[in-house]
Structure 1
Amino acid sequence: MASKDKKLEGAPKDYNKKVQRNSTFFRAMRNSLHGIWLILVRERNMRIHILLGFLILLVGLHLGLNRADWLWVAVAVFTVISSEFLNTIIEAVVDLVVEKRYHPLAGLAKDVAAGGVLVAVGFEIIILLIVFQPYVWRHFGIVTNFSQFIHDFSK
């Protein structure tokens, strides 16, 4: 993959010969879907994020999240998945440019991209804790009304 004459493993036969833009919408869609397939096959962390997203979906369905909560959960999950796409893109481009040589800027780019995924995961965890907390507590019979607590405390 590092040099121009090597082919991308797992790519369709005509994929490595491509030198022009997609000729049709359907060709572009096919290439986009192929890109999603490649990241799922090649990147273990993406498979983990997809699996955890599916588990979050199941828990949300079980707990009966409302519409606004689903919006926040979707933003959190897709932020992580999108950041993993960007991380993979950056790593591939850096590997293409530096080939098998070490360069400190290449390491910086890859580390910062991986750090971006970590920040996105932190964002996801915070959102999920905020959204799921009242549902989980109610599920276990713990009922709290923080607003009422503050109102009673201020008297």
Structure 2
Amino acid sequence: MLMAYKDRKYRRSRTYLESFRHAFSGLKTAFIEERNLRFHLVAAILVLFCGVFFHITKDEWLVLLICILIVMALELVNTAVERAVDAATDHFMVEAKKAKDVAAGAVLLGAVISSIIGLVIFIPYIWQWLN
């Protein structure tokens, strides 16, 4: 059933600037409060440093940036799912746990695949650097 605008719990942003403020507030909250997001940020910075150090190609940069974006975006969505589930439940529910586990699994999948892609890109550079 659709709610009328006046029946909403929160009002919609009236301007694009207000929408951007909410989005940046969400990013700030996630970076401050979510340990895993900070871990992914440190990993991303390390990957970017390696990209500069090894002078990777433009195509490799694009792939790495997409991987970083995917992992960070999945982590943000996982955080949103966890917060929404926690707000909607006040006691343990099997289906709530499953929702949170599936969201965490998406982050894990993205991180593992991105790590493999990073290894495929960087191992030849590391091997050449060592020899």
Q: Same fold (TM over 0.5)?
A: yes
Name the residue aligned to 2:52.
61
Structural RMSD (CA):
1.1
Partner of 1:78: 69
Identity of aligned residues (%): 32
Q: Which residue of the partner structure matches residue 19 of structure 1?
A: 10
Paired position in structure 1 for 2:110: 120
Gaps of 5+ in 2: 1-8
Quote the Cα distance in structure 1 between the aligned partners of 2:25 and 2:71: 20
Q: CA deviation at 1:23?
A: 1.2
Aligned-residue offset at 1:19:
2.6
The equivalent residue for 2:30 is 39
- 1:91 aligns with one of 56, 79, 82: 82
Instruction: String of CA shifts for 1:91-143, please: whole Å, max 9, x gaps.
Output: 011111112x01000111111111111111111111001111111111112xx
1:132 aligns with 2:127: no
* Structure 2 CA distance for aligned equivalents of residues 137 and 51 of structure 1: 24
Aligned mates of 1:118, 1:66 — CA distance in 2: 27
What TM-score does the superposition give when structure 1 sets the normalisation length?
A: 0.76
Please state how far the C-alpha of 1:76 moved relative to its aligned partner: 1.3
- What is the CA–CA distance in structure 2 between the aligned matches of 1:53 and 1:119, rounded to whole Å? 16
Q: Per-residue CA shift, 1:46-86, capped at 9, x if unaligned?
A: 01101110111011100101100011111111111111011
Q: Larger Cα Rg: Structure 1 or Structure 2?
A: 1
Aligned to 2:97: 107
Q: Distance in 2 between matches of 1:77 and 1:20?
A: 32
Q: State the alpha-carbon separation in 2 of the partners of residues 53 and 137 from structure 1.
A: 21
* Higher-helix-fraction structure: 2
SS at match of 1:22: coil
What is the distance in 2 between the residues matched to 1:117 and 1:32?
Answer: 20
Tell me which of the two structures has the higher relative contact order, counting C-alpha pairs closer than 8 angstroms and 6 or more residues apart: 1
Aligned to 2:3: none
Q: TM-score, normalised by structure 2?
A: 0.90
